[in-house]
Amino acid sequence: MTNDELKVHELRTLKAIAETLNSANDIHTMLNDVLKEVLSLTKLEAGWIYLIDEKGNYSLAADYKLPEALCIESKKPMCEGGCWCLDRYNDGRLKRAANIIECKRLEDAVEFEWGDTRDITHHATVPLLAGDERFGLLNVASPHKNRFVEKELALLEGIAYQIGTALKRIALTQKEQESALLAERNRLAKDLHDSVNQLLFSISLTAGGTKEMTEDVQVKEMLDYIQGLSKEALSEMRSLIWQLRPQGLEEGVGTALANYGKVLGLTVQVDVKGVLQLSFSTEEALWRIGQEALNNCSKHSETEEIAIVITGNPSYVSLEIHDDGKGFQYNEDQPRLTFGLTSMKERAESLNGTFQVTSAANQGTTIYIQIPLKREGM
């Protein structure tokens, strides 16, 4: 390939990378596609991308043609432990493309005989940046390659900056979508409160007033029935409005659940342990799970005293809801999950969390949820 042909190939590849980054909304698909383009452009053989959160927790977000030794046990060597490039990234030393870094993971692969490394021993590593924000690392390698020239490093830095900018764009788009969803929920809740809620209240008052205007026993009974139905519907509507726009959620899940308990006529004691910095999706899941659990307590537990413990640490957040009510017979080996319990379980598992129920007749019920924490979008 002549120099002119090589330049045309590079420009076309850079254009393809830019188009992928500008149009994609799914992070993992985008990163895998871009990684292939990068390796095609640089004539390198293997690559991988780590996304890293503010606490230094990392995840393998994309990879291409990894050596066999790094793919054992579902790529376990790439997903556990530390390495030189992560250490340099986390302590602030890695601020631009680094020429060649000996790969500890590949050294371990040779030492412990995990399999074929295809003679790859080193890799270039580039931080993914967007201004002052950091998102992770781009690593590329080839067999027997032990040196990157400045032109190659500059090209990798330019691509890495484009990737970082795209990651920031996607994160901002997700936040905008979440804000729009919350605004729509608040609008719907307001509309329900202003129209349907007031109509039901008016029906109840009208039925009550009409009873005083008749002596017919059957009519009075029918009006009593109408009044009862309207009051029940009004209670359900208030609960629905609460589900759409929980009061106190801006002050934390614990406050919102305590307030919701009051709506249901429950006394909820909340204990929050640790500092919680939750993503929208995690906070939403905890709120919905806690809400369903309180609904179950109100309908079935035959007690008004509920204890909630929310615990947060850098790795996970947990939610425990306990009542000393009548309980029910629950067998872990053959669980019989109601629709409400199934919904809670699915919400937890959708965020890679766990769901546990402990209950027995006349011994109360405990719901325990644990959800791992990581930067949203990773």
Mark out the alpha helices in the chain (DSSP H runs): 3-23, 27-42, 72-79, 84-90, 104-111, 150-192, 198-211, 217-244, 253-263, 280-296, 339-350
More reliable by pLDDT, 158 or 330:
158
Tokens of 334: 């053959």
| Res 353: pLDDT | 92
CA–CA distance, 106 with 84 (Å, rounded to integer): 12
Helix/strand/coil for 320: strand
Does the pLDDT at position 159 exceed 60? yes
| Res 4: pLDDT | 66
CA–CA distance, 194 with 157 (Å, rounded to integer): 55
Mean pLDDT, the chain, rounded, equals 84
Beta partners for residue 58, in sequence order? 52
Asked if 268 and 308 count as a contact pair (C-beta separation under 8 A), the reply is yes
Q: pLDDT of 26-85, one tens digit each?
A: 888 889 999 998 998 888 999 999 999 887 889 999 999 999 999 999 999 999 888 989
Helix/strand/coil for 123: strand
| Res 183: pLDDT | 67
Record the pTM. 0.56
pLDDT > 90 fraction of the chain, expressed in percent and rounded: 35
Domain ranges of the chain: 3-174, 249-378
CATH for the 3-174 domain, from 3.90.1170.10, 3.90.1010.10, 1.10.645.10, 3.30.450.40? 3.30.450.40
| Res 25: pLDDT | 73
Beta partners for residue 318, in sequence order? 311, 370
- Strand duo 46-52 + 133-141: pairing: antiparallel
CB burial class (10 A; 0-12, 13-18, 19+) of residue 98?
A: buried
Query: At CA 233, angle to CA 290 and CA 210, rounded to 5?
Result: 155
Which stretch of DSSP H or E encloses residue 365?
strand 365-372
If we measure between CA atoms, which residue out of 132, 126, 127, 133 comes closest to residue 171? 133
| Res 135: pLDDT | 94
Split at pLDDT 50, 70, 90, the class of 247 is: low
With the C-alpha atoms ordered 42, 48, 54, 55, is the resulting torsion angle positive or negative? Answer: negative
Does the pLDDT at position 378 exceed 80? no
If we measure between CA atoms, which residue out of 378, 356, 375 comes closest to residue 367? 356
Split at pLDDT 50, 70, 90, the class of 9 is: low
Fold of 249-378: Heat Shock Protein 90 (3.30.565)
Does the pLDDT at position 371 exceed 90? yes
